[in-house]
Amino acid sequence: MIVKGTNRDQTRPYNRRVVLETVRLRGPLSRADISRLTDLTPPAVNDITRELEKAGLLRAEGRRRTARGQPPVDYIINPEGGYSIGLQLDRDRLVGVVLDLAGERRARTECRIDDPRPEAALPPMIELSRQLIGSAGIEMADVIGAGLVLPGPFDADEPDDPLRLPGWRSTDPANALMAAIDLPVIVVNDANAAAVGERLHGAARDLGTFCYVFLGHGLGAGLFLNGTPFEGSRGNAGELGHMVVDLTAEGPARRLEHHVSLHALGRWFADRGRPPPRPEDLATLVAADDADLRDWLDRATDMLSPALTTLAALLDPQAILIGGLVPTPFIDALLARLNGVGGSHLELIAATAGPDVGALGAAALPVFHHFVPGSAQLTKDASPSNGAGRHPLTAM
């Protein structure tokens, strides 16, 4: 997806983002390449690249060989130009990662969570964040911010629903974590974070309008419309799992995610006298052509197909990505059954981040927020997030 700059006055913040995003997607690039791709004038590109190089966000990668004349300097994103923390909380574990500005993983750790309620889960989040900084060998001043991912929706505590994390409705996790680690924090649900991660670093790098179907303990979808994440008025857009598919059932059991999710798969195995499989066991079960798993995949396909067709009809996406907390062989087995859903015009593709997608997507959130061009930089009332100015990227 190519982004264009504007040569009007008072648009430098937007244009800096355009240059960064263009180099991130297409680099190494010379200044002439950047000017051609972004429609910015050569003087504007010269000024911006000098600013970004001075701030440590771009790095000269050497000179390109040419037949004649002075060889142009190629620029790439400087991986050491900034770092971000990503945290993913599930019912029984907390995963954390640190990514550099180029999207490479610099540290990863996880710990078991016995109680996912805020009062019990926030202390290990704070400790894990500090551990990650130490493991990555970086300074706090080099960190752009942190992302925290929780299963959605955020506005509903349902005691009878095993797919919800209890207690978070009345908690402001962003402010609680921000106060403890002194970094700006962005909080979204797991599907939206996964979509941002794939857009920034994965299979959706060149897509503007797509859906990410996130298969975890529940089922959700992250939405991108014309290059912009769509989260809805309360951050709950894309709750695909809340589609009613069983009118004979009561309460949450009416919903799609109680038939297509890791929770549903665990119940399926338990009903057959087998222990619920862990996500890391699923690749082995797929390779063994396990009969119970095969039957569940067939049933899940029948339940999921109408939902994907509805998504395609409503949003007309370029593609629907399938991913989540499950290994690639499991996704491939599901995609093989879903082939042809929605007609030949709809492309179904596997997400690339793997089971750590929530934490990786969480770490992508601060970079996306400060990196990718959007309409906010073209309005006079656009304001920096909390903590702006601590790092060169947060002041853009």
Q: Which two tokens stand for residue 280?
A: 């890391």
CATH of domain 82-195+362-368: 3.30.420.40
CATH topology match: 1-77 vs 82-195+362-368 = no
- Chain segment 1-34, per-residue pLDDT in tens: 566 655 555 577 889 989 998 998 888 999 999 9
Give residue-wise pLDDT tens across range 372-381.
776 443 333 3
Q: What percent of the chain has pLDDT over 90?
A: 44
What pLDDT score was predicted for residue 188? Answer: 84
Which residues, 6 or more positions from 367, have their beta carbon under 8 angstroms from its beta carbon?
Answer: 82, 84, 99, 101, 103, 144, 200, 393
* Domain 1-77 indexed as CATH 1.10.10.10: yes
Burial of residue 128 (CB within 10 Å: 0-12, 13-18, 19+) is: middle
Phi-psi region of 342 (alpha: psi -120 to 50; beta: other; left: phi over 0): left
Q: Is pLDDT at 336 greater than 70 in this prediction?
A: yes
Task: Name, in order, each residue with C-beta under 8 angstroms of 114's C-beta and a sequence gap of 6 or more.
Answer: 92, 120
pLDDT level of residue 152 (50, 70, 90 thresholds): low
Predicted pLDDT of residue 379: 32
> Mean pLDDT over residues 194-199, rounded?
90
Instruction: Check whether 149 has a pLDDT greater than 70.
Output: yes
pLDDT digits (tens, 9 = 90+) for 201-243: 888 988 999 999 999 988 999 999 988 888 888 777 888 998 9
Range with lowest mean pLDDT among 163-167, 208-212, 304-308: 163-167
For the chain, how far is it from start to end, CA to CA, in angstroms? 21
Q: Is the peptide bond before 275 cis (omega within 30 degrees of 0)?
A: no
Q: Give the pLDDT of residue 36.
A: 94
Confidence (pTM): 0.82
Domain ranges of the chain: 1-77, 82-195+362-368, 203-352
Label residues 2-32 b or e (16+ Cβ within 10 Å = b). ebebbeeeebebbbbbbbbbbbbbebbbbbe
Q: What is the Cα–Cα distance from 48 to 75, expressed in whole angstroms?
A: 12
Most confident of 137-146, 153-162, 277-286: 277-286
Domain 203-352: CATH architecture, name and number where available? 2-Layer Sandwich (3.30)
* Model confidence pLDDT, tens digit, residues 63-109: 666 556 567 889 999 999 999 999 998 888 899 999 999 889 999 99
